[in-house]
């Protein structure tokens, strides 16, 4: 007979030990959807920050006086 403690241990075996893509159980649809959304949103934020950085560096090197102060 399975007790509640044994059922919880079964669920703990499926849990994610780390957030690295190699440690995620991709066969579980709930993990797949969540981590695809997480990594997708982090990629979009990262590309936006990178684009802002590149544009800022280009403007600083070109010597444009775009300051409003």
pLDDT tens sequence across 13-61:
566 777 777 778 888 888 889 999 999 999 999 999 999 999 999 999 9
φ, ψ (nearest 5 deg) of residue 17: -80, -35
Is residue 26 within 8 Å of residue 39, measured between CB atoms?
no
pLDDT, residue 39, reads 93
Whether residue 2 has pLDDT greater than 60: no
Is residue 45 within 8 Å of residue 52, measured between CB atoms?
no
Query: 33-52 b/e with 16+ CB inside 10 Å = b?
Result: eebeeeeeeeeeeeeeeeee
pTM higher than 0.75 for the full model?
A: no
pLDDT, residue 5, reads 56
């Amino acid at each position: 007979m399975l007790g509640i403690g044994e059922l919880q241990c079964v669920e703990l075996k499926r849990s994610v030990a780390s957030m690295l893509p190699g440690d995620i159980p991709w066969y579980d649809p709930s993990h797949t959807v969540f981590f695809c959304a997480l990594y997708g949103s982090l990629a979009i934020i990262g590309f936006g920050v990178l684009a802002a950085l590149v544009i800022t560096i280009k403007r600083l090197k070109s010597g444009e006086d775009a300051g409003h102060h």
